[in-house]
Amino acid sequence: MSCLVESKDFADKTNVDIAPIAKLRNQLLRRPASTIGLVFSRTGFTDPARHLSYFSLPQTILLWTGEEIKYALEKEEICELLTLKYQVCVEDGLPDYDVRERDIP
């Protein structure tokens, strides 16, 4: 997969708003259609940011929270989980699917 990555780590625990997602969406418009955008945020995302990620399709922007990043690193499965997150986005249109859900019985 070819990805453009944006990462945010705010000291004041603020959730990421729409600006980084809008910026990434514009960058993806200048790339081949198969390029995926990834936004990593330790603190999470605001509701408007999540909604914008849904409306960014067909430019795919996948959202990763701090807890998902921690989970992926602990499992040592970041590539597999990225593939899962992308697959769920393709099949169900969910760019903010929480990869930790795969282990919920």
Q: What is the pLDDT of residues 4-48, one digit of tens each?
A: 999 988 777 788 899 999 999 999 999 998 999 999 998 899 999
Domain extents in the chain: 3-103
What's the pLDDT score for residue 48? 93
92: which residues sit within 8 A by CB, 6+ positions away? none
Residue 57 DSSP class: T
Instruction: Note the Cα 32 to chain centre separation in Å.
Output: 18
pLDDT-above-90 percentage for the chain: 68
Residue 102 confidence (pLDDT) above 60: yes
Residue 101 confidence (pLDDT) above 70: yes
The CATH number of 3-103, from 3.30.70.141, 3.40.1350.10, 3.40.605.10, 3.30.360.10, is 3.40.1350.10
104 band by pLDDT with thresholds 50, 70 and 90: low
State the amino acid at position 96 in one-letter form: D
Q: Going along 24-86, which residue ranges are E strands?
A: 36-41, 61-65
Q: Cα separation of 80 and 85, whole Å? A: 9
For residue 59, what are the CA distances in angstroms to 6, 24, 48, 50?
A: 15, 9, 17, 14
**Residue 68, both tokens:** 């998902």
**Residue 10, both tokens:** 């705010």
